[in-house]
């Protein structure tokens, strides 16, 4: 016990001796230049000394050292009897004096060679300088990458200084993580325990893995204080990660349910009204996504500066375009099939086949590329690994807005009143003089338009291609079946149920099992309530 401690103390003293003088005084530039011009051992001494002192050196010293190190690495360093020359290119006849900047001939000077053994130390020193003084995040990130390779030789002070000075959030987080990792393997027990606590304070899956790896560390068996600290830290992190993952599942389920709701709401309105299931609803969603793409391309041509707004501009365009397609389909085809609901299944399937192949032939089968505006890219890390991504939040907010608007349309507008009247009793509504055919057409347009909106919401999340409609259309049928006829709230609850069940079961037993369980669940549910969740009991 005593021997290792003493050794540690000795090591600490050495470190202190190395760093403290440097902190007290600025860089001894002449000595540094001489070291780099010296033999291999001197070069390593100079480079490592700089790294050790790096946390406290003034910026101009770092810049001076960086120039010399760069010249050495690139064979542009020339060493006359006194001082050092920086050449513009290797073997140039003259160069600038490193101290005075004056031009001097390099003919009589010796060009020091950087050996393979010394290169690592020199590169680390260059990386340190770049990390601390790089002009832009890219340069600093490159420096960090070099430093990371030999992180054990870099003192904490360098990383701390880099972290404190860093302005780029991403890079700052990376530096922090690296500093913690370095501290976790530090020889100082107190520092290690502090690092464990620090890691545990910002829990994530990486932090969990990092701490779990420490269980194999000899200190875990040997040092009770270390073990306690690690166990506590690990427990905290594990719990937080579990909660974060749970939140992520709920969040993903919510966004999936939002898409399902938007796909199914239109279906449910149409089904409630006309008893028709539109098998082309998936293709209407696809059309909505393609309309969004069209708006993006129009913005790119006409108003590139406003490109970021295309997603918002696409909302009315997609709704209108797909609603028009729906009205066309209703007027040309479905109008003739109201007394033949099973045939309308075949007819709408034919429409879907037609639309998929039309898009395939005219636009192509490849996935469309979308520009992601700032408001749908990235996200804000909320808790542990749970990042609230903007694209999914966009879909959720979109679905909520759609729900509210659709409810308003159905409850507060004359069209909504007509739709509800015809849904509940078509013959009676017709007797009262309602133009049921016109209402059918408008409602079909509304339902189709909702599919178009689902297409807009999908663009930032899923890939967009002609066949995308078939992907979740079966799920949205199940939502309609489960939700019952003519109840938007039923559709919402069913969408949350089906979406949530899919996302909840998926991590446990796989995507396929999730679908099987949902289907079996729905069939079992229909045993109890054949008319769905919220259907009102009606007379035959």
Partner 1 sequence: MTALVVDALTVAFGRFTALDAVSLAVDPGEVRAVIGPNGAGKTTLLDVISGITKPVSGRVMLGDRIDLTKRSEVEIARAGVRRKFQKPSVFPALTVRENLEIGCGPALPARDRPDRIASVLGEIGLGPRAEVPAGRLAHGEKQWLEIGMVLAAEPALLLLDEPVAGLSDAETAQTAALIRSLRRPDRAILVIEHDMGFVEAIADRVTVLHEGRTLYEGSMAGARAEPRVIEVFLGR
Partner 2 sequence: MSGAVQTALAAPAGPARRAVRDPLVAGLVGLCLAAAAGLLVAPPAPYLVNALGQLAASAILAVSLDLVWGYLGILSLGHGLFFAIGGYVCAMHLLAHGVAVTGVLPDFVQFMGWKSLPAYWVGLDHAPYALVLALALAGLVAFVFGLASFRSRVNGVYFSIISQALVYVAMLLMYRNDTGLGGNNGMTGFPLLFGWPMGSPGVVTGLAVAALLTLAAILAGTRLLVGTAIGRRMLACRDDETRLRTLGYSTTRLKLGIWCLSAMIAALAGILYVPQVGIINPRVLAPDLSIEIAVWVAIGGLGRLGGAVIGAILVNGLKFWLSAAMPEAWPFILSGLVLLVVLVLPNGLLDLVGWRPRPTWLRGAR
Which residues would be at the binding site for partner 2 (CB under 8 A)?
271, 275-277, 279, 333, 336-337, 339-343, 345-347, 349-351, 353-354, 356-358, 361, 470, 474, 477-478, 480-481, 511-512, 515-516, 519, 522-524, 526-528, 530, 540
Nearer to partner 2, 399 or 480 (CB): 480
The 10 Å Cβ neighbour count of residue 404 is 10
Q: Does 428 bind partner 1 (CB under 8 A)?
A: no
Q: Does 528 bind partner 1 (CB under 8 A)?
A: no
Q: How far is the CB of 424 from partner 1 (least distance, A)?
A: 10
Q: Does 13 bind partner 1 (CB under 8 A)?
A: no
Nearer to partner 2, 55 or 469 (CB): 469
Q: Does 540 bind partner 1 (CB under 8 A)?
A: yes
538: partner contacted, choices partner 1, partner 2, none (Cβ within 5-8 A by kind): partner 1
How many residues of this chain bind partner 1 (CB under 8 A)? 5
Gap between the Cα atoms of 326 and 329, Å rounded: 5
Gap between the Cα atoms of 281 and 67, Å rounded: 65
Q: How far is the CB of 288 from partner 1 (least distance, A)?
A: 35
Q: How far is the CB of 440 from partner 2 (least distance, A)?
A: 16
Contact between 299 and 313 (Cβ < 8 Å): yes
Nearer to partner 1, 89 or 540 (CB): 540
% helix / strand / coil in the chain, to the nearest 5? 75, 5, 20
Q: How far is the CB of 323 from partner 2 (least distance, A)?
A: 21
Q: Which residues contact 224 (CB under 8 A, 6 or more apart)?
A: none
Nearer to partner 1, 3 or 427 (CB): 427
Q: How far is the CB of 56 from partner 2 (least distance, A)?
A: 60
Q: Residue by residue, what is the 3-state secondary structure of 329-398?
A: HHHHCHHHHCCCHHHHHHHHHHHHHHHHHHHHHHCCCCCCCCCCCHHHCCEEEEECCEEEEHHHHHHHHH
* DSSP secondary structure letters along 463-474: ---GGGGHHHHH
Gap between the Cα atoms of 182 and 200, Å rounded: 15
Closest Cα to residue 39, out of 10, 79, 71? 79
Q: Does 538 bind partner 1 (CB under 8 A)?
A: yes
111: partner contacted, choices partner 2, partner 1, none (Cβ within 5-8 A by kind): none
Hey, is 87 helix, strand or coil?
A: strand
Burial class (CB in 10 A: 0-12, 13-18, 19+), 219: middle
Interface with partner 1 by CB under 8 A: which range of 52-60, 233-241, 471-479, 532-540? Answer: 532-540
Q: How far is the CB of 485 from partner 1 (least distance, A)?
A: 13
Hey, is 78 helix, strand or coil?
A: strand
Nearer to partner 2, 56 or 475 (CB): 475
Q: How far is the CB of 471 from partner 2 (least distance, A)?
A: 11
Residues in contact with partner 1 by CB under 8 A are: 536-540
């Amino acid at each position: 016990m005593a021997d290792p401690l003493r050794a540690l103390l000795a090591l600490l003293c050495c470190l202190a001796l190395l760093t403290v003088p440097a902190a007290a005084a600025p860089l001894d530039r002449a000595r540094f230049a001489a070291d780099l011009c010296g033999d291999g051992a001197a070069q390593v001494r100079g480079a490592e000394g700089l790294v050790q002192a790096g946390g406290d050196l003034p910026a101009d010293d770092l810049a001076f050292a960086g120039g010399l190190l760069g010249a050495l690495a690139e064979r542009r360093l020339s060493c006359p009897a006194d001082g050092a020359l920086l050449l513009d290119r290797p073997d140039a006849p003259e160069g600038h004096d490193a101290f005075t900047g004056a031009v001097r001939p390099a003919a009589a000077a010796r060009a020091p060679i950087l050996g393979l053994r010394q290169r690592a130390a020199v590169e680390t020193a260059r990386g340190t300088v770049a990390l601390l003084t790089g002009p832009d995040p890219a340069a600093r990130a490159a420096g960090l990458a070099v430093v990371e390779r030999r992180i054990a030789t870099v003192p904490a002070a360098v990383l701390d200084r880099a972290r404190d000075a860093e302005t780029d959030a991403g890079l700052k987080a990376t530096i922090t993580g690296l500093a913690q990792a370095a501290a976790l393997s530090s020889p100082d027990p107190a520092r290690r325990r502090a690092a464990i606590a620090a890691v545990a304070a910002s829990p994530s899956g990486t932090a969990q893995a990092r701490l779990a790896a420490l269980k194999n560390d000899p200190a875990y068996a040997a040092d009770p204080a270390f073990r306690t600290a690690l166990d506590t830290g690990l427990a905290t992190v594990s719990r937080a990660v579990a909660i974060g993952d749970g939140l992520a599942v709920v969040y993903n389920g919510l966004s999936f349910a939002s898409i399902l709701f938007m796909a199914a709401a239109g279906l449910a309105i149409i089904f409630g009204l006309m008893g028709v299931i539109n098998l082309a609803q998936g293709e209407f969603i696809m059309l909505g996504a393609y309309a969004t793409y069209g708006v993006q391309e129009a913005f790119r041509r006409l108003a590139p500066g406003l490109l970021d707004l295309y997603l918002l501009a696409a909302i009315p365009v997609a709704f209108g375009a797909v609603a028009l397609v729906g009205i066309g389909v209703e007027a040309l085809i479905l109008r003739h099939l109201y007394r033949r609901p099973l045939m309308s299944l075949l007819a709408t399937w034919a429409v879907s086949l037609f639309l998929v192949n039309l898009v395939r032939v005219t636009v192509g089968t490849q996935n469309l590329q979308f520009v992601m505006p700032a408001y749908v890219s990235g996200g804000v890390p909320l808790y542990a690994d749970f990042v609230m991504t903007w694209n999914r939040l966009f879909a959720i907010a979109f679905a909520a807005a759609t729900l509210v608007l659709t409810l308003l349309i159905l409850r507060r507008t004359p069209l909504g009143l007509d739709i509800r009247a015809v849904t509940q009793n078509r013959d009676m509504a017709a007797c009262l003089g309602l133009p049921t055919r016109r209402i059918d057409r408008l409602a079909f347009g509304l339902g189709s338009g909702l599919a178009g909106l689902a297409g807009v919401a999908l663009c930032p999340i899923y890939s967009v291609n002609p066949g995308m409609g078939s992907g979740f259309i079966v799920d949205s049928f199940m939502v309609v079946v489960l939700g019952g006829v003519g109840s938007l709230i039923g559709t919402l609850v069913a969408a949350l149920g089906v979406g949530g069940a899919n996302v909840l079961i998926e991590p446990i037993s796989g995507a396929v099992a999730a679908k099987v369980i949902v289907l079996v669940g729905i069939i079992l549910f229909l045993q109890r309530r054949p008319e769905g969740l919220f259907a009102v009991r009606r007379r035959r």
